Amino acid sequence: MWPIGPLMHEHRLIERMIALIDLEAKRLRAGAPLEPDFIHAVTDFIRTYADRCHHGKEEDILFRDLAGRDLAPDLKRIMDELVQEHKYGRAVVKRLVGANDRHQQGDAAAREDVLDCLESLGGFYPTHIEKEDKHFFFPCMELFDQRQKEAMLAEFWEFDRKLIHESYKAVVETWQKNKGG
């Protein structure tokens, strides 16, 4: 298996959470009450699974290994964009946490901030994932020989061993059942 297999697999679970985020944003736009526990689950999932686990592998392993390669200018540009997009996602999640906290403390205006953050995440992740899946991962893998790919894959698995994939899969599945997604 190429090292990008786990990364693309992670994208599929992230897409499932984004679908739930989109459903929640539509529900809120229709006037439904905000559910702070769902927002907490979203922020926990994105911070831990999407950012620490998934983006962590990209930044700490793949991008590190690519730094020593002769990248084509378009791949270098995309890699730089991906790093900036990861920072953007972290900033939106930080705003979402703050808005959810303010809402729980009774700030009625925070509801709109929560909704804005949900819509931002729902718009951001599909484009980001498509860029990685269709324009970055495959061309980058051509820069590594089989031994290097196997070493990277082993490092990904070791990285994962320290995280709790099944826990976050269960979080998504629970919310899918609750939200009907």
143, two tokens: 């820069």
Q: How far apart are CA 16 and CA 82, in angstroms?
A: 21
pLDDT of residue 18: 98
**54 near 14, Cβ under 8 Å?**
yes
Q: What is the pLDDT of residues 53-110, one digit of tens each?
A: 999 999 999 999 999 898 999 999 999 999 999 999 999 999 999 999 999 999 999 9
Q: What is the pLDDT of residues 121-167, one digit of tens each?
A: 999 999 999 999 999 999 999 999 999 999 999 999 888 887 766 66
Secondary structure in 3-state letters for 121-172: HHHHHHHHHHHHHHHHHHHHHCCCCHHHHHHHHHHHHHHHHCCCHHHHHHHH
Query: Considering the entire predicted model, what is its pTM?
Result: 0.87
Going from the N-terminus, what domains does the chain have, and what CATH number goes with each?
4-179 (1.20.120.520)
pLDDT of residue 125: 97
